[in-house]
Amino acid sequence: MTAGHQIGEREAERQARLLAAEVQATELFAEVQARGLVAPGRRDREVSDAIRDLAHDMFGVEKFWHKRIVRSGPHTMEPYGANPPDRVIEADDVVMCDFGPIFDGWEADFGRTFVLGDDPVKHRLRDDLATIFAAGQRHFLDHPGITGEQLFTHVLGLIADAGWKHAAAHAGHLIGEFPHDRIDDDKISLYITHGSDQPMRRPDSSGRACHWILEVHIVDRQRGIGGFYEQLLDLEHASGTADQQA
């Protein structure tokens, strides 16, 4: 077996493991919806703990590679780095969830938005998240040499065209084996953001192919609501772009 063949097999295995982790994350959030874990009267932290416990029961997940986020109401406008106080979910709230479970040593990064009640603007916000993600992914797939900055600029345009504001300094990041390259140590080249001028399709610091998460965090500050959606960008997966609904 040639060295090139071995490298190809290892990369195929990496892709398969990343896709498997995302499928499990998709199944986890489908079960969150089926069990009605995101519900009025529950606290954000209570829902977060319930999802943590469900991940353990379903898949044996012991840890998450980033902090677990469940935010409701006006707290959905806060960026990732914020730590808003715990809050009781109300009957007509938007609730966003951002989890990074580790499945058998492989990272998933998965975000979805739930809408409680019948407010049409909130439902449009949730639905637009999946549409913007899909359009951003298509643009990435259609431009082999695209840089992180170029994709970020395109996603910002998609968000503005849909009538929303973007709530974060980036629109995604590197993903891989746990732990992958220290993204906290490099807020530019390992992110989809301004100044990320390297081609996204490149080797990482260990010579392996880079794989990416695309995340969309949109807000309407006048109404005090936001929503979040994220999953694998560069690999084909079974989860598609259909959003979770509540």
Alpha carbon separation from 86 to 19, 89, 194, 224, 238 (Å, rounded): 33, 10, 32, 17, 34
Token representation of residue 135: 């359009």
How far apart are the two ends of the chain, measured CA to CA in Å? 51
Residue 102: pLDDT above 80? yes
| pLDDT over 90, % of the chain | 70
Helix axes 148-161, 120-142, angle to 10 degrees: 150
Mean pLDDT of the region 34-51:
97
pTM of the model: 0.89
Residue spans of the domains in the chain: they are 3-232
| More confidently predicted of 62 and 179 | 62
Lowest mean pLDDT among 12-16, 69-73, 183-187, 212-216: 183-187
Which positions ≥6 away from 211 have C-beta within 8 Å? 14, 15, 18, 174, 175, 176, 232, 233, 234, 235
| pLDDT over 70, % of the chain | 88
Residue 95: pLDDT above 50? yes
191-243 residue pLDDT tens: 999 999 999 999 988 888 999 999 999 999 999 999 999 999 998 654 444 44
- Measured CA to CA, the distance from residue 115 to residue 130 in angstroms comes to 14
Residue 157: pLDDT above 60? yes
pLDDT value for 175: 83
The CATH homologous superfamily to which domain 3-232 belongs is Creatinase/methionine aminopeptidase superfamily (3.90.230.10)
pLDDT value for 240: 45
Q: Which of 152-161, 167-176, 197-206 has the highest mean pLDDT?
A: 152-161
119-156 residue pLDDT tens: 999 999 999 999 999 999 999 999 999 999 999 999 99
pLDDT value for 244: 43
pLDDT value for 167: 95
* 159-162 contact pairs (CB < 8 A, 24+): 159/132, 159/216, 159/218, 162/128, 162/131, 162/132, 162/218
Residue 104: pLDDT above 50? yes
Mean pLDDT of the chain: 89
Q: What is the DSSP letter of 181?
A: S
Contact 206, 200 (CB under 8 A): no
Mean pLDDT of the region 43-65:
92
Token representation of residue 142: 């259609």
